[in-house]
Structure 1
Amino acid sequence: MTNIWMHIGAGSFHRAHQAWYLHRLLKEVAAEQWKIAIGGIRNDVVPLLTALSQQNNEYILETVSPQGVREYEKITSIAKVLPWDEKMTALIEQGAKEETKVIAFTVTEAGYYLDTSHNLDPNSADIQTELKGTICTIYGAVKAILKERIKQNGKPVTLLSCDNLRHNGDRFRHGFLQFLELCKDQELIEWVKKNTTSPNDMVDRIVPRPAADLAPRVAKETGFNDKAPVMGESFIQWVVEDNFISGRPELEKVGVEMVKDVQPYEEAKIRILNASHSCIAWAGTLIGLSYIHEGTHNPDIKKLAWNYVTQDVIPCLTPCPLDLEDYRDVVLDRFGNPNIQDTNQRVAADGLSKIPGFITPTLIGCYDRGKEPKATAVLPALFFIFMEEWHHGRLPYEYQDGILNADTMHAMFNSADPIAIFAGDKALFGKIAGKAEFVTLIRQTVSELKNWINSAK
C-alpha cells in the first residue's frame, strides 16, 4: 500500500525542496512506499496544477551552484494532482483517506495570521470570511479535512508546516486550536489534541520564481518541454523534529536531519538567512537594483547585512551548536550567486510578517542584554523607507503582502509623524514598540539611510 504525503501549496518551493527529498528517497530505497498528493487553497494554483496533470505529474528541477554549474533532474514523487474548486473537494477527499499519513503545507509566513504574541488574529478579513463558511486559509482547509477524516476512519495524521516560521509546528498548532475555538468546535479540538502531531522543522533552499528563460533552457538541456519547471540553488537543508504520529518516510536516508530539537537550526536560519535576505532586498530596491545578487555584491549593502549578523545576531545566539560566523559567510556567498537571478520583489514581500518573525527578536534580545541594536535597527528602517516609496507609488514593482491594509498604511504616511506610529506598532515590535529610545533609534537610522540612498542612486 502506498502511503500519501499530502501537500497543500503547490508552489516552487515545495517542488524544489520536500518533493525533491521524497523523489530522491524513491530512487534510493526501492521498497519505499511514499508518494505525494499536491493541491492548493487558492484559485491561482489552477494553471500550475493543470500543467502538472498534462505532463504525468512530472517536472524538471534545475539547480545551479555559486560557481554556475547547472544540473537537471526530473522529479517523479508526485502521485496525484488534486484539482482546485471553491469547496476544496479533492483536498478534503484525499486528506480524509487512511492512506494519507502526513498533511504538510507551505502557505508563507503571512498565511498563519498570527500577531506578535503568536496568537491568531481573529479580526483578519480572511479569518472572518472563513468563520462564515468559505475556506480561504490553511486553518479552514485542515478543519474541513479532519472533520471528513473523522467521519471516514478517524485515523491519526501528522500536520506539518514547512514554512519559514519560528517554531512553525507549534505556531501552526496554537493558531489552529484558537481557530477551532472561534468555531466553537470542542469535539474537533479534543480529537486534534489526541490524534495529530505538528513537528517543528527548518527548511532551506533559495528558490526564485521561475524566470521566462527557464522553460526554454530546460527544453534545450533535457528535451522535455516542461510547462512547470522550477529552479533553485544547489544548497539544500531540511531539519525535522522526529514527531510523526502515523509513520513517516525514511527521510534521514537522503540527508534530512531528524532531530529532537530544531530550535538552534531554525533560530540561526531565520535570524541570519531570512532577515539578511530581506535587508538586501529592501536596500537593493531603494537604490535601483533588481536582483539579490546585485545587492549582495554592493559593498555598502553587504556591510549592512554583515554588521547586522556580526554585531547583534551572533551575540544574541551565543552559545550555539552551529559555527555562526561560518554560517553567515556561507549565507552571503549563496546570496551572491548571480545564476539564481532571485528578484528583490520576491524576497521583499510580506515584510509585515517578516519584521516580527525575523527581526524583532534580535531587537528585543539586544535591549535585554543592555545593548542598543544599531545594526539591527537598519532593517526595519529600510522597510519603513521602502513602504514610504510604496505609499508614493515609486516602487519599481508591485509589493505583495498578505496582511497589508493599504488604507491603514497610507494613513500612517499621511500623518504628522509616521515614524512614531511605525515604531510604536506593537504588531511589529512587541514590547519595545513606542519606547522612547527605540523610536529615537529608528528616527536616526531612517535619516542616515535616506542620506545613503540618495548618494547611492
Structure 2
Amino acid sequence: MNQHDDTTPLTILHLGLGSFHRAHQAVYLHQLQQLGACRWVLAGGNLRPDMAETLSALQAQGGHYTLETITPQGERSYTRIESIRQVIPYQSDLAPLIAVGAQPNTRIISYTVTEAGYYLDPKDRLDWATFSDLQADLAAARQGRPGQTIYGALTALLRARMQAAAGAVTLLNCDNLRHNGDRSRSGLLQFITALGDTDLLAWVEAHTTSPNAMVDRITPRPTPEVAERVRAATGWDDKAALMGESFIQWVIEDNFANGRPDWQRVGVEMVQSVAPYEEAKIRLLNATHSCIAWAGTLAGYQFIHEGMQDPAIRRMAYDYVTDDAIPVLDTQDKPSPLKLAAYRDVVLDRFGNPAIQDTNQRVAMDAFAKIPGMIAPTIRDRLARGETIYSVAMLPALFLAYLQRWHQGQIPYTYSDQAMDPVAAHAMCEASDPVAAFCADSVLWGELANNPRLLTAMRDASARVAQFTAQHKA
C-alpha cells in the first residue's frame, strides 16, 4: 500500500472460492481496480476437493464470472467480476496453494470458513477429542504434510513462507465467527504448539497479524436459473455465474502486517474495533436468519422470503430482536454506534426479498455451532441482568422442534451440521424429557447447560412452538 514506486502486483491468496467470497471480497477488489488501483490482485483455491465444476469453469474463464445483484424491490443488475487473476487447481498436497502463499508478493492470506470449521469449544480451546479430522491434520503436520482443516493448511503455508524468508503476512477471516481474527489465531497457535514447532510458533507470532472482520451479504447457492438470466442479459454462457442481494458490508480492524488495498475507497469500513458491528450483525441478522429458517421449515416453506411473509414467523423474529437483543446491545454505559432499530428493519426487508430465493436448507445448517455463537450470548446477557428471555427462547425452541423432526426423518432436505454428534442428537430426542436433555447439552450451552431459568423459559417457548406448528398443520 505504501510502495507506490513499485508496480509489481501484490497478491491476496484466498482459501475457499465459494459463492460468498466471489460475491463479497472479490467484488470490493474489482471495484477498486475499476477506479484504477490495480496493484492488488486475487489468487484463490480450495483446501478440499469440492466445487470441482465451479473451479474448472473459473479456470476456463480466466477467473472471470458474472455477479447478478437483486434489490428488495426486484431490480437486477449484472457485473463481470475480474479481480481473481489466478485460480489454483486443487491438489491433495496443496502444493500449488503453498507455492503462492510462500511468495514475497503474497501479503494477505484470507479465508472463508464456517463457524464449526474452527473446531473451538466454548472456551476457545481446540476440541481435539471431538474432531478426528483435527487429529488427522496434526498427525499429517508432524510428517510435514498439509491437512484439510484451516489449521493444517495454514501451518503448511506459513512454514513454507518462513523457510522462504518471504516476509510478514496478514491472516484475514471473511466469515461469521465472532471475534474471528482473535479466535482463529488462538486456534492456529494452539495447533502449532501441539505440533511442537517452536520456530514456526515464534515466526507466526512475530510476522503475522489477524484482524477481526465482519462481513455481510446474502449469497444463495447458484441455481441454473441464474446462469440463464445472465445469458439473457449479457449474452455470455457463464459457467460460474452467481447471485447475491444488493446490500453489502465489510468492516475490518486496520491491523495489517504488510500493507493492504485502499479498501476504504470502495466503502469498506476500516475501524479500530469491529466488536459492536459484529455483535449487531451476529445477533440481529444471523440469529434472526436461523430463526426464520427453522420456523419456515416447520411451517412447510422452502425459502426464507416465504417465512418472512408469514405474520407469525415475522413476529417471532421482530420480537426476539426488539425485546431481548437490542436492549443488551445498546445500553447507557455502552451505546451502540449503530441505529439498531433501523438496522433491524433493513435486515427484515432483506430477508423478505423474494428474488433472492434463499433456501431454508442453506440457512438452517450448523445449528450446533450457531446456537452457542449467535443465540446463547443474548440469553446469557439477559439472565445476567435478571431479565426475562421470553422472546429469545423461541429460537432454540424452534431448533429443538426442528431437531425432533430431523430425528423422525421428516425434514424434507438433508440437514448438515459439522459440530453435531448425530448419536448424541438422536439420544436427546429420544430422552424422556427432550427439553431438559436439550438444555443440558454442553456443546450447545457451555456454562448455561442445566440453568434452571433457561429450562423454564425453554419449556414455555416449546409450548408456543408446538402451538405454532399445530396452526400450520391445520
TM-score under structure 2 normalisation? 0.95
For residue 94 of structure 2, the aligned residue among 88, 94, 109 is: 88
Structure 1 counterpart of 2:323, which letter? Q
- Measured in 1, the distance between the counterparts of 2:446 and 2:37 equals 50
SS at match of 1:376: coil
1:92 touches 1:144 (CA, 8 Å); kept in 2? yes
Indicate the residue corresponding to 2:322 in structure 1.
310
Q: Deviations over 1:179-236 (max 9, x none)?
A: 1122122221111111000001110111011122111111111011111111000010
For residue 400 of structure 1, the aligned residue among 416, 420, 423 is: 416
Q: Give 5+ residue unaligned stretches, structure 1.
A: none
For residue 353 of structure 1, the aligned residue among 369, 376, 397 is: 369
Indicate the residue corresponding to 2:154 in structure 1.
142
Map residues 186-225 of structure 1 onto 2, 5 A cutoff.
Answer: 186-225=198-237
Structure 2 counterpart of 1:374, which letter? Y
1:366 touches 1:372 (CA, 8 Å); kept in 2? yes
Q: Deviations over 1:245-273 (max 9, x none)?
A: 10000000111011111111111000000
Structure 1 counterpart of 2:25, which letter? Q
- Measured in 2, the distance between the counterparts of 1:106 and 1:35 equals 17
1:284 touches 1:292 (CA, 8 Å); kept in 2? yes
- Asked whether 1:259 is paired with 2:275, we answer no
TM-score under structure 1 normalisation? 0.98
SS at match of 1:245: coil
Indicate the residue corresponding to 2:10 in structure 1.
3
- Measured in 2, the distance between the counterparts of 1:410 and 1:314 equals 34
Q: Deviations over 1:305-354 (max 9, x none)?
A: 00000000111001211110000000000000011010000000111111
Indicate the residue corresponding to 2:23 in structure 1.
16
1:32 touches 1:249 (CA, 8 Å); kept in 2? no
- Asked whether 1:177 is paired with 2:184, we answer no
- Measured in 2, the distance between the counterparts of 1:388 and 1:38 equals 39
- Measured in 1, the distance between the counterparts of 2:51 and 2:299 equals 33
For residue 75 of structure 2, the aligned residue among 69, 92, 100 is: 69
CA gap 1:77/1:353 in 2 versus in 1, 3 angstroms: same
2:16 touches 2:111 (CA, 8 Å); kept in 1? yes
For residue 324 of structure 1, the aligned residue among 340, 343, 346 is: 340
1:63 touches 1:70 (CA, 8 Å); kept in 2? yes
SS at match of 2:270: strand
- Measured in 1, the distance between the counterparts of 2:173 and 2:386 equals 35
For residue 430 of structure 2, the aligned residue among 414, 419, 425 is: 414
SS at match of 2:203: helix
1:6 touches 1:37 (CA, 8 Å); kept in 2? yes
SS at match of 2:391: helix
Q: Deviations over 1:48-88 (max 9, x none)?
A: 21110011110000000011110000000001011101111
Cα shift at 1:91: 1.0
Map residues 327-346 of structure 1 onto 2, 5 A cutoff.
Answer: 327-346=343-362
Map residues 260-299 of structure 1 onto 2, 5 A cutoff.
Answer: 260-299=272-311
- Measured in 1, the distance between the counterparts of 2:135 and 2:209 equals 26
Map residues 36-55 of structure 1 onto 2, 5 A cutoff.
Answer: 36-55=42-61
Identity of aligned residues (%): 51
- Measured in 1, the distance between the counterparts of 2:316 and 2:45 equals 39
1:45 touches 1:84 (CA, 8 Å); kept in 2? no
Count residues with an aligned counterpart.
456
Cα shift at 1:31: 4.2
Structure 2 counterpart of 1:117, which letter? K
Indicate the residue corresponding to 1:60 in structure 2.
66
- Asked whether 1:79 is paired with 2:89, we answer no
Q: Give 5+ residue unaligned stretches, structure 2.
A: 1-7, 141-145
